[in-house]
Amino acid sequence: MRKIQKGDRVILLSGDDRGKEGVVLKVNPSSGKAIIEGINFVKRHHKPTKKSPQGGIVEKEAPVHFSKLLVICSKCNEAVKTKTIILADGYKTRACKKCGEMITNVAK
């Protein structure tokens, strides 16, 4: 089970935005990367188009590798490691390694 999922509250562990929190907007399992709202902006230069005749610089969130992210446990209220647990009905979910709280997803 992927440790980072859409809707998770995560914290960035490295880079210029180290320590910043955000919500995962999108995950790309094949590249192992996620886009997090408000984190890891990169400037992209755009050529002039009909829509924006001046072109210019657009800031956009760049994908971050899962290894640079930790999920925030709502109970501990800090970045934690997660483990996979299997519920009684066989459904797999993630739980905080520290307190055992299930990591629930805000974007369901």
- Using CB under 5 A, list all residues that contact Zn ion: 73, 75-76, 96, 98-99, 101
Q: Which is nearer to Zn ion, 11 or 35 (CB)?
A: 11
Q: Which is nearer to Zn ion, 26 or 75 (CB)?
A: 75
What is the token pair recorded at 105? 């997803």
Closest CB 78 distance from Zn ion, rounded Å: 8
Q: Using CA atoms, how far apart are residues 28 and 12, in angstroms rounded to an integer?
A: 17
Closest CB 91 distance from Zn ion, rounded Å: 20
Q: Using CA atoms, how far apart are residues 108 and 102, in angstroms rounded to an integer?
A: 15
Closest CB 94 distance from Zn ion, rounded Å: 11
Q: For residue 79, how many other CB atoms are within 10 A of its CB?
A: 17
